Chain A
Amino acid sequence: MNREGRGATTPHIVGGISAGPVTFTGNRGLDLEEGLIFEIGRTEVTGVDIAEPAPFKDRLGTHKRTAPLELPGLSEPEAMRHYVRLSRMNYGIDSGLFPLGSCTMKHNPRLNEKMARLAGFADIHPLQPLSTVTGALELMAELSRYLLELTGMKAVALTPKAGAHGELCGMMAIKAAHAARGEAQRNVVLVPESAHGTNPATAALIGYEVRSIPARADGTVDPEAVKAALGPEVAALMLTNPNTCGLFERDVVAIAEAVHQAGAYFYSDGANFNAILGKVRIADLGVDAMHINLHKTFSTPHGGGGPGAGPVVLSEALAPFAPVPALVATADGLVLVEDEGSAGAEQALGRMSAFHGQMGMFVRALSWMLSHGADGMRQASEDAVLSANYVRACLMDVMSAPFAERPAMHEALFDDAWLAGTGISTLDIAKALIDEGYHPMTVYFPLVVHGAMLIEPTESESKASLDLFLGALRDLAMAAKAGDKERFLGAPHYAPRRRLDETRAARAPVLRWVRPEPLPNAAE
């Protein structure tokens, strides 16, 4: 199993490769060092030809810039080379398997990029007359229809710009709903220990007190623990499902009932929606609000940390509180209600941001949905779950997997019990994986497991690719247990950089380039 497919004939190198001479340039063949633009650019150079306007009387008044403007310019060939060289120091999904748990690093189809760049989507302004953007409104309506069909929910707010922004939107809708019911005194939000950090941060941002719910021994939330924590002061429960241990919260219906019975709302974190697409409609589980990370489940690229998009689906109880702008279907066609309190948005919670949301992401997500269709989306979820369970099954004998008595969903969780006594940590395993050509899994999250390693293969990997990855991880596990510490503690050896000193970075932060002091005269 370990050595099937591509790479099977690569000789296993024992003892490392010859180090070779230290180069004069610091480069190593195709591994090229690259300075900062401030070191290679010059303020008098520009890579954009712009004609100087004919003389005219300016209208700047007394506000002309006098402050220095130390922005170096690069000609186009220099800029291409600089950024191509930087790109080569990065690892992306297109480079290799990217099993970063909770992040759903699936393939990003290039069709979606092409569609988002059609002039009819990319070159339209959010405030041009609505009569000139009817196709854009139709696209938003179609995306909404897909999201509502897949979730069974009543309404969707498209504008939130990322997952955490969606959480904020959903939680504000909950606060608005309680206020409308005269129950503004509810000031506590329940959050399980295993939740993403954004959940407690969001609740706290709008003044909620966060109360933690422990996980039970099998890694899921116990409805009894929720019941015990509920009371007239509780506004909502925020629950990630499937949870961050990669398990489906099998008592979710009972939990939702208890939450509703206590007069609270059920917020579901949709970060892990990829596991259940077409398998269950979250409305049937009693969810009142859930954000959907279009940049995870629907494959709009992560882009090194964004942009994302975090539409929020809402239950009937919360639908009236959706923010503006709201897309309303009328006899005259689609209308975009942009002002709070106007017809169609009488109880709107407010506005999440300027304009109408991440249109560029909407196009990509809808393109992905149309390509997959109902059948392909369900197949994608099934393949993602199948692959995660396969990963777990193939590593169980060499690593330790907590909660393995339950089926995994789209990610496989391991702890560091199997490393006990080796002197090697979860972080060391991650860094050694880099040497083997892989992006590491998520490490030290969720917090409920010691030394967590969370592997999310997604549906985008072939079996051959999974087997190569599993082979590498098994070899590392065996090496760790055999005491080959040097391989781990010094890793990564073959990345553009060795381990970086994060303590130094935080102690005396250098957050921007500053021109170095001139060197003292060598003759002195």
Chain B
Amino acid sequence: MRYLPLTPDDRAEMLARIGVNSVDDLFADIPAAQREHELPRLALHKSEMEVERALARLAAKNVPAGSVPFFVGAGAYRHHVPASVDHLIQRSEFLTSYTPYQPEIAQGTLQYLFEFQTQVAELTGMEVANASMYDGSTAAAEAVLMAHRVTKRRKALLAGNLHPHYRATIETVSRYAADDVVALAPVPTGGEDIIAAIDAGCSCVVVQSPDVFGNIVDLKPIAEAAHKAGALLIAVFTEAVSLGLIEPPGAQGADIVAGEGQSIGNALNFGGPYVGLFATRQKFVRQMPGRLAGETVDAEGRRGFVLTLSTREQHIRREKATSNICTNSGLCALAFTIHMSLLGKTGLIRLARANHAAACDLADRLAAVPGAEVLNDTFFNEFTLRVPGKAADVVEKLAARGILGGVPYSRLAPKAGLDDLILVAATETTTEDDRAAYAAALKEVL
């Protein structure tokens, strides 16, 4: 077996040194009645070539985004990631290292986490960011729990245009923690009245912008109303690239920002692993979940980095911790950081403009198809298309014509009664030909 270095002779010598006759003696504490003597009913070991063949066969049954005109978004976006990003994250010293609990030999990880935290804070317009969460949805759920700790209240108000999976993730953990959630109904055209629903019992208002339908939301009046009621504004985003062009939540009064960072540096991966971005105000830092890298000096006075404020965390505080999170998304955060370092301000703004331009062009083309209607006044790289009949059928018919045309909202929220809406995304990876092909196919389908 190519991964196991011990030889039969080694094993015999080691058993002799331990002073037992067989390896089974080492498993003597497993009750005899329960010990397995037969091998599991699974195939025996395979060569690298055989494994590659088996998995390639499965992969070949899927339609990769890059092989077709592709317009699927709704929380995960296909962007071009520079080749150097994937090369660098596969450096052994990054890929095969552990959580940096021994800082003297983990300065590489700790320094990039410090860079990551700074980039996330800058991008979101916030004061501090942590070293990552699992993904955007779990970051949003953690943000709600944090708001409860800060305000000592236990009710979250969720905007109707929050991604339904995010809503379900927050509702699930809240249900088991016996916290209240009030979720408003979706308003696909935007302009929902969240402020009217804020009351003195709310610990937080959770608002996504751009929202799940693509509308850009003015967070400022919501923040003001929340603060007046003693609640926090939690701003959510699912498309980090949008912050290159639109006003960041930090500049609009958000208290906590929870977002999905996948679209910078990370592939689609069928939904994971992704990277949750989590930022807040300096004054709330001790209520934050997750790891934090901080600057310090070593015994010779040189600058260095360590994990800090760990008295918030489970391995120290156990049942009094701010969160149970341990493993996070370190390597995905590294991919984010490298891609963002390559982009810089100049590249990020250009990338955002390329996305917005592609989406504007597509929206104009699709709006011109008889029967189709674009609902948005504002959007970044994703908008909502109303079609006659069932959106899910239209998307299937488009797929049959080789176009992956978006996400039927009904797939995310089957019970919402919004069966004629398609969420359509266009990133810099779409070409003019792709967009023309979409409009032509839609015309055939409708």
A27 at the interface (CB under 8 A from B): no
Residues of B80-117 whose CB lies within 8 A of A: 82, 84, 86, 88-109, 111-112, 114-115, 117
Q: Within the complex, what minimum Cβ distance (angstroms) separates B441 from chain A?
A: 14
Residues of B within 8 A of A80 (CB): 84, 88
Contact with B along A362-383 (1 / 0, CB 8 A): 0100110111111111111011
Tell me whether A355 and B91 are in contact in the complex, defined as CB-CB below 8 angstroms, given that A119-B66, A127-B411 are known contacts: no
Q: A41-B341, A285-B34, A359-B269 are in contact. Are A63 and B218 (CB under 8 A)?
A: yes
Asked if residues B345 and A71 are in contact (CB atoms below 8 Å), the reply is: yes
From B52, B104, B291, B340, contact of A495 by CB (8 A): B104
The 9 A-B pairs at the shortest CB distance, nearest first, are namely: A73-B344, A120-B59, A350-B172, A355-B271, A303-B331, A135-B61, A126-B271, A46-B347, A307-B273
The distance from the CB of B349 to the nearest CB of chain A, in whole angstroms, is 7
A430 CB → nearest B CB, Å: 7
Chain A CB within 8 A of B226 CB: no
Cβ–Cβ < 8 Å partners of A460 in chain B: 3-5
Contact with A along B246-277 (1 / 0, CB 8 A): 11101100000000100000011111110100
In the complex, whether B323 has a CB less than 8 A from a CB of chain A is yes
Collect the chain A residues with CB atoms within 8 Å of residue B165's CB.
351, 353-355
Total count of chain B residues near the partner, CB < 8 A? 214
A-chain residues with CB within 8 Å of residue B67 when the two chains form the complex? 119
Whether the pair A42, B344 counts as a contact (CB closer than 8 A) is yes
Smallest CB gap from A514: residue in B? B118
Are B23 and A509 in touch, CB under 8 angstroms? no
| Closest A residue to B166 using CB positions | A354
For the complex, is A513 an interface residue (Cβ under 8 Å from B)?
Answer: yes
Is there contact, CB below 8 Å, between B3 and A376? yes
Q: Is the CB of B98 within 8 A of A302?
A: yes
CB contact under 8 A between A206 and B177, given known A62-B218, A69-B348, A374-B39:
yes
Selected A-B contacts with CB under 8 Å, 29 pairs: A44-B345, A45-B344, A52-B353, A70-B122, A74-B341, A83-B338, A87-B91, A119-B64, A124-B270, A127-B75, A127-B76, A127-B412, A161-B273, A164-B325, A302-B96, A304-B97, A307-B327, A340-B168, A351-B169, A355-B75, A372-B45, A379-B1, A390-B18, A495-B104, A496-B107, A505-B295, A509-B285, A509-B309, A512-B114
Contact between B327 and A502, CB atoms less than 8 A apart: no
B59 contacts A59, C-beta separation under 8 Å: no
Query: B350 in the interface, Cβ–Cβ < 8 Å?
Result: yes
Closest residue of chain A to B246 (Cβ to Cβ) is A63
B178 touches A207 (CB 8 A): yes
Tell me the residues in window 404-422 of chain B with beta carbons closer than 8 Å to chain A beta carbons: 404, 407, 411-412, 414-415
- Given contacts A67-B251, A306-B327, whether A509 and B44 have CB atoms under 8 Å apart is no
A48 to B106, CA, bound (A): 28
Q: Contacts A50-B428, A205-B323 given: A92-B318 contact, CB under 8 Å?
A: no
- In whole angstroms, how far apart are the Cα atoms of A123 and B4 in the complex? 32
Give the distance to chain B from A468, nearest Cβ to Cβ, in Å: 13
Is A510 close to B, CB under 8 A?
yes
Interface centre among B3, B251, B275, B340 (most CB of A within 10 A): B3
Instruction: Mark A137-161 against chain B: 1 for CB-CB distance below 8 A, else 0.
Output: 0110010001001100000000001
Give complex CA distance A53, B435 in Å.
Answer: 15
CA distance A245 to B25 in the complex (A): 19
Q: When A72-B344, A389-B26 are in contact, do A511 and B117 touch as well, CB less than 8 Å?
A: yes
Contact of B346 among A73, A114, A323 (CB under 8 A): A73
Any chain A CB within 8 A of the CB of B189? no
Question: Would A134 and B404 count as touching, CB distance under 8 A?
Answer: no
Bitwise, B281-308 to A at CB < 8 A (1) or not (0) is 0000100000111111111101011101
What separation, in Å, do the CA atoms of A495 and B311 have in the docked complex?
A: 26
- Known contacts A66-B247, A114-B52, A359-B270; decide if A76 and B123 are in contact (CB<8 Å): no
Distance in Å: Cβ of A67 to nearest Cβ of chain B: 4
Complex CA–CA separation, A496 to B93 (angstroms): 14
A487 close to chain B: CB less than 8 A: no
A504 and B324 in contact (CB under 8 A), knowing A108-B95, A382-B23? no
Which B residues are in CB contact (< 8 Å) with A66?
Answer: 247, 251
The number of A-B residue pairs with CB atoms under 8 Å apart is: 732
B273 contacts A360, CB within 8 Å? yes
CB distance from B392 to the nearest CB of A (A): 9
Question: Would A162 and B272 count as touching, CB distance under 8 A?
Answer: no
Interface residues of A in 426-453 (CB under 8 A from B): 430-431, 434, 439-440, 445
Task: Report A-chain residues with C-beta under 8 Å of the C-beta of B314.
Answer: 164, 197-198, 200-201
* B123 vs chain A, min Cβ distance (A): 7
Residue A387 CB within 8 A of the other chain: yes
Asked whether A105 is an interface residue with its Cβ less than 8 Å from the other chain, the reply is yes
Q: Is B433 in the interface zone, CB < 8 Å from A?
A: no
The chain A residue sitting closest to B7, CB to CB, is A463
Q: Mark A103-136, 1 if CB is under 8 A from B, else 0.
A: 1010111010111111111111111110111111
A86 interfacial by beta-carbon distance below 8 Å: yes
Q: Which residues of A contact B138 (CB under 8 A)?
A: 161, 165, 352-353
Q: Give the chain B neighbours of A509 by CB distance below 8 A.
A: 285, 292, 294, 308-309
1/0 per position for B219-261, CB-CB distance to A under 8 A? 0000000000000000000000001111110110000000010
Contact B14 A500 (CB under 8 A): no
Cα distance, A205 to B13, chains bound together (Å): 48
| Contact in complex: A276, B30 (CB < 8 Å) | yes
Chain A residue with Cβ nearest B404? A128
CA of A146 to CA of B95, assembled, Å: 25
Least Cβ distance of B416 to chain A in Å? 11
Partner of A389, one of B18, B166, B327, B378: B18
Q: Please tell me if B395 contacts chain A, counting CB pairs below 8 Å.
A: yes
Q: Could you tell me how many residues of chain A have their Cβ less than 8 Å away from some Cβ of chain B?
A: 213
Known: A163-B326, A305-B109. A394 touches B244 (CB 8 A): no
Q: A47-B342, A163-B327, A386-B14 are in contact. Are A63 and B216 (CB under 8 A)?
A: yes
CA distance A502 to B100 in the complex (A): 13
Q: What's the Cα separation between A119 and B145 when bound, in Å?
A: 37
Beyond A197-B314, A305-B98, A353-B138, whether A51 also contacts B354 by CB under 8 A is yes
Cα A142 to Cα B306 in complex, Å, equals 40
- Given the contacts A163-B326, A276-B30, A304 and B357 also touching, CB distance less than 8 Å: no
Does A24 interact with chain B (Cβ within 8 Å)? no
B6 touches A463 (CB 8 A): yes
Cα(A196)–Cα(B310), bound, Å: 15
Is A516 in contact with chain B by the CB < 8 A criterion? no
**Does B39 lie within 8 Å of A307, measured CB to CB?**
no
A131: which B residues are within 8 A, CB to CB?
Answer: 396, 399
Q: Is A36 an interface residue (CB 8 A)?
A: yes
Least Cβ distance of A198 to chain B in Å? 5
Among A72, A114, A119, A366, contact of B341 (Cβ-Cβ < 8 Å): A72
Chain A residues positioned under 8 Å from B20 (CB to CB): 389, 407
Give the CA-CA distance A93 to B91 in the complex, in Å.
Answer: 11
In contact, B396 and A129 (Cβ under 8 angstroms): yes
Considering only residues 318-373 of chain B, those with a C-beta below 8 Å from chain A are 318-321, 323-332, 334, 338, 340-351, 353-354, 356-361, 363
Q: How far is the CB of A472 from chain B (nearest CB, A)?
A: 15
CB of B135 within 8 A of chain A?
A: yes
Least CB distance from A400 to B in Å reads 18
What is the CA–CA distance of A280 and B38 in the complex, to the nearest angstrom?
A: 10
On whether the beta carbons of A373 and B42 are closer than 8 Å, the reply is: yes
Is A331 in the interface zone, CB < 8 Å from B? no
Given A56-B357, A253-B34, 14 additional A-B pairs, CB 8 A: A48-B342, A59-B378, A67-B248, A92-B94, A95-B92, A111-B51, A121-B55, A139-B58, A206-B177, A304-B331, A306-B330, A379-B1, A500-B103, A512-B121
Residue in B46, B268, B325, B343 whose beta carbon sits within 8 Å of that of A71 in the complex: B343
Task: Name the one of A72, A430, A498 contacting B299, with C-beta atoms under 8 angstroms.
Answer: A498
Residues in chain B near residue A461, CB distance under 8 A: 5
* B271 in complex: contacting residue of A103, A248, A356, CB < 8 Å: A356
Task: Say yes or no: B98 contacts A98, CB within 8 Å.
Answer: yes
Cβ B93 vs Cβ A91 within 8 A: yes
Give Cα distance in the complex from A47 to B85, angstroms. Answer: 11
